[in-house]
Structure 1
Amino acid sequence: MRFTSSIGLLPVLGTAVSAWDAPSYSGYTLVWSDNFAGPSGSLPNQNNWNIISGNLGVNGELETYVADPHEVQTSGGNTVQLVPWLDGSSWTSGRIESKYTFTPQAGKKTMVEAPIRFGSNDISTKQGIWPAFWLLGDSIRHGTAWPECGELDILETIDGQLTGYGTAHCDVTPGGICNEPNGIGGSIGMPSQDWQTWRLVWDRTTGNWQTETITWYMNGQQFHQISGSRIGDQNVWNSLAASPLYFILNVAVGGNWPGYPNSQTQGGYGAMMEVGYVAHYSS
């Protein structure tokens, strides 16, 4: 992310929301998940999620996050919807951060994933809309500065473009280990704004930090990978691959990367990000 009610849904999307649980995968055990069960128009489970309020003052973004079902709601169909709204000249939106943390375990593979779709507003009306599914190192909650805490962006997309980006951030030095401020990234074309499954896999089975890998996938297709040897510093690598991490889902508006909304940009359900579940697995 370069950290720095369903009543309105059906007319916009034209179809009912999907409902499912995190699936089983051969060779993996489901460790934790949230399928966003709950009645339509409710906040997600606050035992699992911190629902963020305020303007965080990062990236030049415009939105104020609001802990309200208008911006963050369960759909009634086992999904959560994060919805940006324009009220006059002010933008509000939704951001949730998991209370759950996990550490990719040595000698194992760790996998996290979420199925995500976007509201059906035409792409031409999404200038400045910036949804993301990502991870931050839990050490940022305990005083470690960004990006030394480690950040892994599993999916970002901007301006309604049918391109998904995956990025690692890890080192404050401009142009240094993680090529800040841009990070080390890859991208993939999306077939549509409809459901795609975004996944990150840590492979720590080699017993050597330099040959460990973190790999990005959309619908099972690899589109980016980094290794310990590419990072080249074990302490920095550990911030990404061997330290506690937590999940973030949000829709930002404006900012240094996407630019800012224009006269055609529309908020509401047609600009939302909808998530079917978030899951953590271990081999």
Structure 2
Amino acid sequence: MSASSGIPRPRPLRRAFTAAVATLGLAAALATAATAPADASAPTPPSGWTQVFVDDFNGAAGSGVNTADWQYDTGTSYPGGAANWGTGEVETMTSSTSNVALDGNGNLLITPRRDASGHWTSGRIETTRSDFQPPAGGKLRVQARIQMPNVTGAAAKGYWPAFWMLGAPFRGNYWNWPGIGELDIMENVQGLNTDWATMHCGTNPGGPCNETSGIGNSTSCAGTTCQAGFHTYAMEWDRSTSPEEIRFYLDGVNFHTVRANQVDATTWANATNHGYFLILNVAMGGGFPAAFGGGPDGGTEPGHPMAVDYVQVLRSSGGGTTPPPTGNRDAYSPVQAESYDSQSGVVTETTTDTGGGQDIGSLANGDWALYKGVNFGSTAARQFYARVASGAAGGVSGLVEVRLDSRGNAPVGSFAVGDTGGWQSWRTVPANIGAVTGTHDVYLTFTSGQPADFVNVNWFDFGH
């Protein structure tokens, strides 16, 4: 379901007064986040890109965020702003390490909690900087590697984690939304395996940006769910194109694009002719969860954190291309096939598979693709999964192989694939592999006894 499909959407938020809450400790949050892999540092910026902000959230377990980079939003509103952060949510935001703290393993945990009287607290932080925007003719890329609160079903009622941005003119005004712009890079409710991305602009209600819903779209996390594993959520604001574009990505796949010519020139200028600041928060309740059954209620489980591995902002002064991931990949989250670091014989194309985006195709004997820095951790991976499709003629087939660190090394595993019913008829194929731990460069290699194309690949990952 698209976030622009008439879902009632509430809005902005920040500091009012500090709530006094009991410090409950980090034990429950750390237990819930135990499945989080070790810290994967933010990727090194590729050629042509400059890193202008990064936080890897390295620090002692139980410590707060770096207040040189982040400020806490506390209470139930911005000063003089709309009540309940303008969204109808029910929690009180605090700066307590019970709600916002590092886990000691390179992750930030934002943890909603409920006290004995049923009152909810949670955390919301925003960057002190509010000048994030692309240069003229260039690009801005904002990305974070996040595991949503690992809770689903009735226990997740009311959960509303988000990674988003607000236009700088909102600070100190708090009543000029949505004209000053909002970019929701990741929103989720009710523990659904869904990532919503939305641009808010114009006037409310209605207007050129369909408020309060905004201009949005959604997609699902592939491989591991959004709740069960880390995924990378990104926004790329591109002033090198005509018209100007704002694109949203999940694990490297562009699933939503907003273009300047979708609204009038004044609306676009009001939303984009200034910098932005970044926000991370977990709300409880409000209009968005209400559209999917409401909550929180007595069955909602407190104590499930949103875990954030890193937040990174890059700028490019020229057109360039979307920076590919260069290492720091999680073996147990989907690696999008088109995110290769190097290749031979590979063609990218639009896919109609679930989640959209692109696949790699025209794959035949001798072709290959390289994915640097895949982290398998200390528990051995023994399974390989790939999302493949084939429209190969009868009798045409080949092997999809996994090799580590060199194309000359023997495959650690492979599977055979032939016609699946069409080049966009997708299936997930498993294969056993030799035990793999640590971090490796992964090569997908394609081998066949004849020269014809035999497979397309959308994504792959690994399992224990």
Interval containing the TM-score (normalised by the shorter chain): over 0.9
1:10 positional shift: 4.3
1:16 positional shift: 5.4
Q: Does 1:55 align with 2:76?
A: yes
Aligned match for 1:32, one of 50, 53, 56: 53
Counterpart residue number, 1:120:
150
Structure 2 letter corresponding to 1:91:
W
Counterpart residue number, 1:199:
234
Describe how 1:245-264 pairs up with structure 2 within 5 A: 245-259=276-290, 260-264=295-299
Counterpart residue number, 1:281:
314
Q: Deviations over 1:31-82 (max 9, x none)?
A: 1111112210011001111111101222111000011100000111221110
SS of the equivalent of 1:276 reads: strand
Larger CA Rg, structure 1 vs 2:
2
Q: Matches of 1:121 and 1:257 in 2, distance apart? A: 17
Counterpart residue number, 1:187:
218
1:118 positional shift: 2.2
Q: Matches of 2:148 and 2:45 in 1, distance apart? A: 25
2:178–2:204 CA contact under 8 A, matched in 1: no
1:261 positional shift: 1.2
Q: Does 1:137 align with 2:167?
A: yes
Describe how 1:194-233 pairs up with structure 2 within 5 A: 194-206=229-241, 208=242, 211-233=243-265
Q: Matches of 1:196 and 1:11 in 2, distance apart? A: 20
Counterpart residue number, 1:104:
134
Question: Alpha carbons of 1:104 and 1:241: their partners in 2 closer, same or farther (altered >3 Å)?
Answer: farther
Structure 1 letter corresponding to 2:11:
F
Structure 1 letter corresponding to 2:74:
S
1:152 positional shift: 0.6
Equivalent residues, number: 277
Counterpart residue number, 1:242:
273
Structure with the bigger RCO (C-alpha within 8 Å, sep 6+) is 1
2:91–2:121 CA contact under 8 A, matched in 1: yes
SS of the equivalent of 1:215 reads: strand
Counterpart residue number, 1:176:
207
1:104–1:242 CA contact under 8 A, matched in 2: no
Structure 2 letter corresponding to 1:203:
D
Compare 126-135 and 239-248 and name the one that shifted more: 239-248
Quote the RMSD (CA, aligned, Å): 1.7
2:10–2:88 CA contact under 8 A, matched in 1: no
Aligned match for 1:3, one of 11, 20, 28: 11
Question: Alpha carbons of 1:49 and 1:14: their partners in 2 closer, same or farther (altered >3 Å)?
Answer: closer
Counterpart residue number, 2:198:
167
2:10–2:286 CA contact under 8 A, matched in 1: no
Question: Alpha carbons of 1:160 and 1:246: their partners in 2 closer, same or farther (altered >3 Å)?
Answer: same
Q: Matches of 2:252 and 2:184 in 1, distance apart? A: 17
2:185–2:235 CA contact under 8 A, matched in 1: yes
SS of the equivalent of 1:257 reads: helix
Q: Unaligned 5+ residue runs, structure 2? A: 1-8, 13-24, 78-82, 317-464
Q: Unaligned 5+ residue runs, structure 1? A: none
Counterpart residue number, 1:70:
98
SS of the equivalent of 2:129 reads: strand
Question: Alpha carbons of 1:278 and 1:116: their partners in 2 closer, same or farther (altered >3 Å)?
Answer: same
1:125 positional shift: 0.7
